[in-house]
Structure 1
């Protein structure tokens, strides 16, 4: 009987315990995911006693009236904790607060970066008056209902990403008193509801033209490094402050034809009658200035025509070749003259290039031995000096090569590139690859390009025709994630390729050479970089005809633009890598690549897998400073990719545990497939792209996932 009695007692205790827990859970008023997010936030704020009723575990924020918390039903709607002297950071689970609309922790002592995942549906964010570092989190771009954003008086730095394209409801934006730099993002012009904008006391550069047609009535851009002119439309704002910048003292140029009317339509109520009279006068002045400019241009064109006729007896065949070879920005008079010597198709193309703003290339500098001001209208001076370096046969060969290859790139003169790179000065050196050095070319108009100087040793046995064919193939590559070939130069034994330039440098620099103050790449950004690079390789492998093997895929050849989107460079240069005897990259080569000629499409897949490992771990592919078992990244990491515990430990510490565990696991699965030792088992890049697309979608959609720790169902 005693045993039976004890069993009944234990059963009774267990029953009432379960009932008690059920009653508690029924009585609780707050959604479980909201409670969990506030627990993490409280701990990250160093568990301050000022937050009465807050707890690091348990509790009921809505039912127990936690300080600063307001709820609607079972969800937290507002967090107001301004001016409480709070320290620490905000934690990593704010994205779980999906019903939060008001978020104010201004005027505290909060530090570290602003979390890259904020409450997704918030309308009001105020984090001003703290000590936040890093930059403005990109997740703000997804807050479609955001109306108020105040990040002023912090320590934010770096450039603003082009993240404002969907924030059409934003009315108030304060980024003042930080250290933000670079040009204002183009997406500012889409802020159609913006009435207040404070940017003062930063390091912004460039113009403020993107603000021209916004409905702003309170603007402060003082104490930056803005240049150019203050648009006349902004001068009509009642409350505007622009001092402490580098505005031009010269008269502002007239607006482009038709823009005056467009501006008036967008802001029809901004001008008073007095201003309208002034506007009419400015239009007349603009028309007068425009007439003078057009007259000068016509006179300059006539001068060019006369000079060309004068020199036609000695160099007409070379001039024709020049006209055909480069994508010159021609005016109608010049294109008509060319139609006498070329087919109507060429003349139409020249006229089309003139109309296309992208074809206007002002990078040509005036030849040091020429006094003719051709550069002022985008025309290249007659290459009388260049002509001496080629005989007639070579010229004919070059013309024929150009006709057959249809190179979609501009011809640069050697003198022009020498001038722009400081005669290829060491100070302009960006890096050195396996086939040559890359230099930074800067022009007086501010344009910056990257110039790759191909080492002559890699050109042995390659005819001029073959070289032009290679350049032609590169110039035809058209993909968002492939670096564009802007132009080339093949002159006096020098062969140079001119590419677009990215100020953020390479992925290698971001991952391995950044100092401790640089903001690390977030997990979502790393996935986006991997996906963009994979798409570029897929384009080379499966979209190009014939397929193109890259042969030099590594993080140093993945350049990052202002929004940290990847651009694969060195595409189409496999022929040169075929001729180099050196290793194409320690740690990147697939096992089968004992020599360059053994490289295949699947070898590219392996190299890409190594890049993904860099993104995952933050380690270089080969590190001789590590213990022997850890020197080769692939050998060290591969056995750990399918083990949850070891995978978590090998993640880049710079991520600080801020990543969705399931996304991380799937990312590791893709890596494991790519770095398999047998080429035939590696997937095609189209499959890699599809897998990464699913990972990116999962990372973006699963906002409520517990970031930083593996959940029980994983």
Structure 2
């Protein structure tokens, strides 16, 4: 039987009904997408009635989503407290500009607190979950935040200085976590704080920084705070300090350690404190005068002055300061004791100033193999977090909450402990914000290990190539800043250290990311292992000149860095055998298209979802094209690369505010470099 088509009037009615349904959809599209991702990241719980993994209209009265409140077309509150939810919070929350309350307390959520949070929150309550890692930098930009409750989680590490611009924050609860270290200096900017709960952590140091805050309720119980309790804190309504090695009684005059200055408020102690301070200053001046006279006297009796220093073995030696003034070269950490060819005064002054800007070498801690064995579960496979030509890397956990990364070498790699200690000594001289710094080592018989701080976000390779659609895709701004940080690390190795340090193993798996997605270049100073870079780097990263064993040069690092930038641009692996043959080698496939604006749009990582400025993509591609040129002479130096990428960052931030050097929560669809 043939189907009869409905009359034209009926067909028109159907079309109009569809159009009207679309037109009256209430909820902002960005809010819907963010909630879809959140729902999926929390494993699509049945407890969230009305929620969907794709589409929906949470602000429509007929499509009610549990725990969601709206104002007009915008979601304003998310309250999912106590629903037994699991999983993570996803990655899209920063697009929800109208959300002022996010409460997911008393659930079973885990993982790091996402770097992308609603930027205009007034209340943030994540209490009673299993979140780990540190606090995301995005909190520092929440100028309207009034309540921050992160208690009863597994958060750890030292608090970053992210509290300088939170004037409305009145209640903060960080209790029952594993935070450690001193309280951040920016705490003193919390001018609206009334309630502060730091109970049951591992905070240490002095609490003087809290003295001038308008607190009514302060709980510091069960930490490791030392020193005295400032008298002003004793006047607040509720003060709990038990379980700390604090000194009882009032602090002696002038002994309020940790204070930036002696209080100038009126009171009976002012005269004593000022008198003490003046007396101390007089004594200091007299001592300085005596020392100066002694030095002048010695200068008259000796034409050349010598200063003591500690050599690598820990023994005292002398260094001829007159010879040092004629030294032409200093390594990236400290001046050499052996004089070299003479240089003019201006050049020496420039080098000396440069060396002063770099902090002293690290003094690595010596670890026992038995301690590291215990902390890594006897180097159990479940603790294995990395493996390469240099050895295996294990995650070490300690009862005090510390987490470290232990690189364990094959003992046959070294002819003896002296070879290994040479590597330890050279690595300990590398100090840069974007380099993984050594914190310790083990050289027990049969065990050669390096110990680093654990980077909680893993490697760039994992972020780009092992994440699913709902985990942690990197925003465009973050990708550019990761490239810049890595470039600065290589610039430091190539052009600040003397003699220069070639890395020889630059690849995305060696770009580690901390909790705020700041890059840390690993495996620096391990060229001892990289005679055959084709084996260590793997396919896709080696420059053309590296086909010869002696062909690796400094500009070969630049080429490998360009490949890492290609990974950031495209989201593709440096070499992928699963692709068609013409697309397997990323450089060969993409390089011919880097100057084709139309082609670039199709090459951009789909995880970016189109959220990038086209001009930004083009300029980023220009930098890559220069880095991966086949002839090393035509590749730029790393200082040039850093300068080009810095220009990109400045252009990105000129039209809008971006918090901090590596802000990760900003959308980039409106920027234009």
Query: CA-to-partner distance for each residue in 1:116-154, whole Å, 9 max, x for gaps?
Result: 211121111112122223332222222222111111111
Change (3 A) 1:594 1:68: closer
Q: 1:63 aligns with which of 56, 61, 64?
A: 61
Query: CA-to-partner distance for each residue in 1:289-346, whole Å, 9 max, x for gaps?
Result: 7636853784587378559857975xx234x3549xx9xxxxxxxxxxxxxxxxxxxx
Q: 2:283 aligns with which of 275, 295, 309?
A: 295
Query: Equivalent residues in 2 for 1:111-510 (5 A)?
Result: 111-247=110-246, 254=254, 263-264=263-264, 276-277=267-268, 279-280=269-270, 283-284=271-272, 287-288=275-276, 291=279, 295=283, 298=286, 302=290, 309=297, 313=301, 316-318=302-304, 320=305, 322=307, 405-406=348-349, 407-408=351-352, 504=453
Q: 2:38 aligns with which of 41, 47, 55?
A: 41
Whether 1:17 and 2:3 are equivalent positions in the alignment is: no
User: Counterpart of 1:533 in 2: which secondary structure?
Assistant: helix
Change (3 A) 1:94 1:180: same
User: Contact 2:204 / 2:225 at 8 angstroms: preserved in 1?
Assistant: yes
User: Contact 1:133 / 1:154 at 8 angstroms: preserved in 2?
Assistant: yes
User: Counterpart of 2:22 in 1: which secondary structure?
Assistant: helix
Name the CA distance, whole Å, in 2 between partners of 1:538 and 1:532.
10
When normalised by structure 2's length, the TM-score is: 0.61
1:590 equivalent in structure 2: 543
Name the CA distance, whole Å, in 1 between partners of 2:189 and 2:183.
12
Q: Number of matched residues? A: 548
User: Contact 1:540 / 1:548 at 8 angstroms: preserved in 2?
Assistant: no
Name the CA distance, whole Å, in 1 between partners of 2:341 and 2:242.
55
Structure number with higher helix proportion: 1
Query: CA-to-partner distance for each residue in 1:21-61, whole Å, 9 max, x for gaps?
Result: 22223443332332333333334444444444444443443
Change (3 A) 1:218 1:405: same
**Unaligned runs of at least 5 residues, structure 1:** 266-270, 327-362, 370-382, 435-452, 459-474, 485-501, 650-656, 706-714
Determine which structure has more spread, i.e. the larger CA radius of gyration.
Answer: 1
When normalised by structure 1's length, the TM-score is: 0.58
The RMSD of aligned alpha carbons is 6.2
Name the CA distance, whole Å, in 1 between partners of 2:24 and 2:578.
56
Change (3 A) 1:202 1:567: same
1:523 equivalent in structure 2: 474
Query: CA-to-partner distance for each residue in 1:164-217, whole Å, 9 max, x for gaps?
Result: 232222222111111223333333232222222111111223333443433223
Name the CA distance, whole Å, in 2 between partners of 1:694 and 1:153.
41
Change (3 A) 1:614 1:243: farther
**Unaligned runs of at least 5 residues, structure 2:** 328-336, 373-388, 391-416, 423-428, 438-450, 591-598
Change (3 A) 1:187 1:510: farther
Query: CA-to-partner distance for each residue in 1:494-541, whole Å, 9 max, x for gaps?
Result: xxxxxxxx9747899866899x9xxx9973556433222335667999
1:654 equivalent in structure 2: none
Larger relative CO (CA 8 A, sep 6+): 1 or 2? 2
Deviation, 1:558, is: 7.6
User: Counterpart of 1:33 in 2: which secondary structure?
Assistant: helix
User: Contact 1:172 / 1:194 at 8 angstroms: preserved in 2?
Assistant: yes
Change (3 A) 1:550 1:409: same
